[in-house]
Amino acid sequence: MDHTKINLLVRLQHLDNQIESIVSLQKGLPEEITALDEDLAFTNRQIESRKKVADDHLKLRQKLHETINECKDKIRSFKEKQTLARNNKEYDALSKQIEYEEKEIAQAEIQLQDIAHAEQRAQEIQQKGRQLITENRYDEISEEMMPDDILQQQLEDLTRQLEQKREELEGIVIETAEDVDSLKKKVAAQRALITKEARRLLDKYDHLRSGTLQNAVVRLNRNACSGCNTRVPTNRHTMIVQGGFYLCESCGRIVVHERLFEEAEL
């Protein structure tokens, strides 16, 4: 049996393990950053939608006040005309127009009241939220219950946290970039070598690592596959000790003697 082929693969696993251990220095930072990013976007959307409602209310209010003023102007002018009316018919016609304008004013005032009520309701809901916060009952707080100032504070906190985490990650990436780079070059060279010498082993290795699994080649540990802890049949031990490999029947990993990893580090 040609044991040099498996040695080449163990060397590749050793290099990939080194990259993996450097990447693990990032301590879940990329995932944390993604989560913070999502929280921040969510908070931003809430703030934006409240701003939109406030803007819409403001515009509508201005428009309604304009309408009311226009109606009042018209009423004044109709009343002046009434003093000059030459007959009852003219006078009554103007009265009808005044009545119409008064109805318009009443309608606009109802709409203004509706806006005021909606805003008051929103404030009351936020007040309820503030109460729940002081009682630490966070899971009972709905989106609309979150008070404006706390939402704003949340936005600032998230922005700051995100910035810190990004800086931390960037620091690690910069610190380790050189090592990762040189390891990646070694991996590429090793893969090129194995492609020539032991194509099928490399395919097996890549197939095993195509999912989330990182360790395709593992040590024999206490007579078991150290990837899944399944016992390796006794009649295969000798071959492994002699520098061969065994494909774990349970997880499919390539099991080798510990010595091969020690040699791969040299």
HSE (side-chain half, CA atoms, 13 Å) at 108:
19
DSSP E strand boundaries for the chain = 217-221, 224-225, 246-247, 254-256
Q: Does 251 bind Zn ion (CB under 5 A)?
A: yes
10/98 with CB nearer Zn ion = 10
Residues in Cβ contact with 142 at an 8 Å cutoff, skipping those fewer than 6 apart = 129
Confirm or reject binding of residue 250 to Zn ion (CB under 5 A): yes
Residue with tokens 């990939």: 16
Query: Smallest distance, Å, CB 220 to Zn ion?
Result: 10
**Torsion sign over Cα 100, 101, 104, 105:** negative
Q: Which C-beta is closer to Zn ion: that of 75 or that of 218?
A: 218
Separation in Å, CA 88 to CA 77, 80, 91: 18, 15, 5
In whole angstroms, the minimum distance from the beta carbon of 48 to Zn ion comes to 52
8 A C-beta contact, residue 70 and residue 110:
no
**Which stretch, 27-35, 98-106, 163-171, 240-248, contacts Zn ion (CB under 5 A)?**
240-248
Question: Is 15 or 255 the residue whose CB approaches Zn ion more closely?
Answer: 255
**Is 147 or 244 the residue whose CB approaches Zn ion more closely?**
244
Closest CA to 246 of 266, 222, 213, 224: 224
223 is a contact residue toward Zn ion (CB under 5 A): no
Place of tokens 């693990």: 24
Task: Report, in Å, the least distance between residue 244 CB and Zn ion.
Answer: 16
Segment contacting Zn ion by CB under 5 A, of 71-79, 93-101, 147-155, 227-235: 227-235
Size of the site for Zn ion (CB under 5 A): 8
Give the shortest CB-204-to-Zn ion separation in angstroms: 14
Q: Which residues of 195-232 are buried (b: 16+ CB within 10 A; e: fewer)?
A: eeebeebbebbeebeeeeeebbbbbbeeebbbbeeeeb
| Residue spans of alpha helices (H) in 135-234 | 148-197, 199-208
Q: Which of 158, 248, 256, 260 binds Zn ion (CB under 5 A)?
A: 248
Smallest distance, Å, CB 215 to Zn ion? 10
Is residue 193 within the footprint of Zn ion (CB under 5 A)? no
224 binds Zn ion (CB under 5 A): no
Using CB under 5 A as the binding rule, whether residue 208 contacts Zn ion is answered as no
**Stretch 8-47 residues interacting with Zn ion (CB under 5 A):** none
Residue 129 binds Zn ion, judged by CB under 5 A:
no
Residue range at the interface with Zn ion (CB under 5 A); choices 118-126, 142-150, 185-193, 228-236: 228-236
What is the strand order of the sheet 224-225 is part of?
224-225, 217-221, 254-256, 246-247
- By beta-carbon proximity to Zn ion, the closer residue of 14 and 253 is 253
What are the residues binding Zn ion (CB under 5 A)? 225, 227-228, 230, 248, 250-251, 253
